[in-house]
Amino acid sequence: MFQLFLIAFRNLGTHRRRTLLLGGAIAGVTALLVILMGLSTGMKETMLRSATTLATGHVNVGGFYKVTAGQAAPVVTAFPKILELVRKEVPELDYAVQRGRGWAKIVSESSSLQVGVGGIDVKDEPGFRQVLQIHEGTLDGLDEQNTVLLFEKQAKKLQVKVGDTITISAPTMRGTNNTVDVRVAAIATDVGLMSDFNIFVPSNTLRSLYQLRDDTTGALYLYLKDVSQVPQVQARLRTVLADAGHQLMDNDPRAFWMKFEVVNREAWTGQKLDITNWEDELSFITWTLTALNGLTGILIFVLLVIIGVGIMNTLWIAIRERTREIGTLRAIGMQRTRVVVMFLFEAMTLGALGTLAGALVGLAVCLGVDSAHVGVPEAVAMFIMSDRLHLVVNAGSVVGAMVFITACTTLISLIPSFLAARLKPVTAMHHIG
């Protein structure tokens, strides 16, 4: 067996140019694959991190309160008790926050916008600082009552700066309009889609806008230590909350603001809770993820096919050139299967070394680009909700790519070596070229 390996190695060494060419091509594909996957995973991760921080927790306890059957408000009443229960029953919890939810009109001297209004206690929101880049002002400014955080694009549209005052106007549960004047405390760099229709104010400011009680909020956002535990936690919360006497809505995997119509049509009044997860709340943007995945997939596929055909061609020629040698080995008494194994081993060695080199290069590029904090064009920033390129290398998928490409190389060489080994020894020995 050792001799087979020796022949394989020597052959690779003897045809150095071809080996380098083939190995280089294989390394290139691998590197490209690793980079593309890193980019795709990184974009997904960035997007989900921004989105989960700004618009949803991993698991949310939200709900609706109805004074009359057709008048639903997206609030959770008497939330401190629920929060206490959650903290007790969910050991997987990293941290939990309460967020006010609203839909309002913001008006400046020159312009107005219809936006979603989030009510936050900025001190309790560690994730916010990581996700948002404050362009002007400070996040801590939101500690004060009657302040607001806008995004750059909104500030531009409204023609306001930090320190300026704008008015928020919204219909209350009783059907009348209420307004609150707020001071711009911070302007954050745009984070894509999210920043187009979201502003943030202190929780109490939101409460006074909607004339809500102190123990009322929009939803509890639960952030877990491990996102994969979402389904368990969600299921447990349903039973625990039901047992504690709360009315629960049927599971509906959509964002809360898409549910008004359904809720308003139902006859019940009072409070019902709704347990959702981040995928539900972001269902309206997950198509971008699907598109991203599809795009990466197509790109990778086309690349693989093009380069695969090239590699196949070269491998076939390389093996055909050695038909005489195959004939000799067969004439000496080498079985067909061993001849094939010898070539497979050669291709596998080439594939393994090539993919290893490629993976290292790809890895280096990913880490390099990631730490260089390369900026992205605005169109991309809108998708990924971040202005910086973030690449994440997933060890599993890199190894997967290496194994896959090595397997392909090996399989491709199976055909010509099988054909060559099948020839009569004398025919193979007299093969020309």
Q: How far is the CB of 14 from another protein (least distance, A)?
A: 5
Number of amino acids touching another protein (CB under 8 A): 25
- Containing 177, the helix (H) or strand (E) segment is strand 177-188
- Containing 313, the helix (H) or strand (E) segment is helix 286-321
- Between 325 and 387, name the residue whose CB sits nearer to another protein: 325
Establish if 367 lies at the interface with another protein (CB under 8 A). no
Establish if 331 lies at the interface with another protein (CB under 8 A). yes
- Between 4 and 414, name the residue whose CB sits nearer to another protein: 4
At which residue do the structure tokens 């809770």 appear? 273
- Containing 319, the helix (H) or strand (E) segment is helix 286-321
Give residues 4-43 in contact with another protein (rule: CB under 8 A).
Answer: 6-7, 10-11, 13-14
Establish if 346 lies at the interface with another protein (CB under 8 A). no
Establish if 343 lies at the interface with another protein (CB under 8 A). no
Establish if 228 lies at the interface with another protein (CB under 8 A). no
Establish if 350 lies at the interface with another protein (CB under 8 A). no
The binder of another protein chosen from 42, 327, 358, 362 (CB under 8 A): 327
Q: For 351, which DSSP code?
A: H
The binder of another protein chosen from 336, 360, 397, 431 (CB under 8 A): 336
At which residue do the structure tokens 């920033």 appear? 381
Q: How far is the CB of 350 from another protein (least distance, A)?
A: 15
Phi and psi at 107, nearest 5°, equal: -125, 130
Establish if 432 lies at the interface with another protein (CB under 8 A). no
Q: How far is the CB of 27 from another protein (least distance, A)?
A: 23
19-25 long-range contacts, CB within 8 A, separation 24+: 19/350, 21/314, 22/311, 22/314, 22/315, 22/318, 22/350, 22/354, 23/350, 23/353, 23/354, 23/357, 24/354, 25/307, 25/310, 25/311, 25/314, 25/354
Q: What is the residue-wise DSSP string for 184-247?
A: EEEEEPP-THHHHSEEEEEHHHHHHHHT--TT-BSEEEEEESSGGGHHHHHHHHHHHHHHTT--
Q: How far is the CB of 315 from another protein (least distance, A)?
A: 17
- Containing 61, the helix (H) or strand (E) segment is strand 59-66
CB 285 within 8 A of CB 48: no
Q: How far is the CB of 299 from another protein (least distance, A)?
A: 39
Establish if 323 lies at the interface with another protein (CB under 8 A). no
What's the rounded Cα separation, in Å, for the pair 357 and 354? 5
Establish if 87 lies at the interface with another protein (CB under 8 A). no
The binder of another protein chosen from 110, 228, 290, 332 (CB under 8 A): 332
Q: How far is the CB of 427 from another protein (least distance, A)?
A: 8
- 99, β-bridge pairs: 219
What's the rounded Cα separation, in Å, for the pair 206 and 226? 31
What's the rounded Cα separation, in Å, for the pair 44 and 294? 13
The binder of another protein chosen from 328, 388, 404, 431 (CB under 8 A): 328
Establish if 306 lies at the interface with another protein (CB under 8 A). no
- Between 333 and 377, name the residue whose CB sits nearer to another protein: 333
Q: How far is the CB of 395 from another protein (least distance, A)?
A: 36
- Between 37 and 421, name the residue whose CB sits nearer to another protein: 421
CB 345 within 8 A of CB 422: no
Establish if 419 lies at the interface with another protein (CB under 8 A). no
Q: How far is the CB of 431 from another protein (least distance, A)?
A: 12
What's the rounded Cα separation, in Å, for the pair 161 and 187? 8
Q: How far is the CB of 409 from another protein (least distance, A)?
A: 20
Residues at the site binding another protein, with contacts judged by CB under 8 A: 3, 6-7, 10-11, 13-14, 324-325, 327-336, 338, 424-427, 429
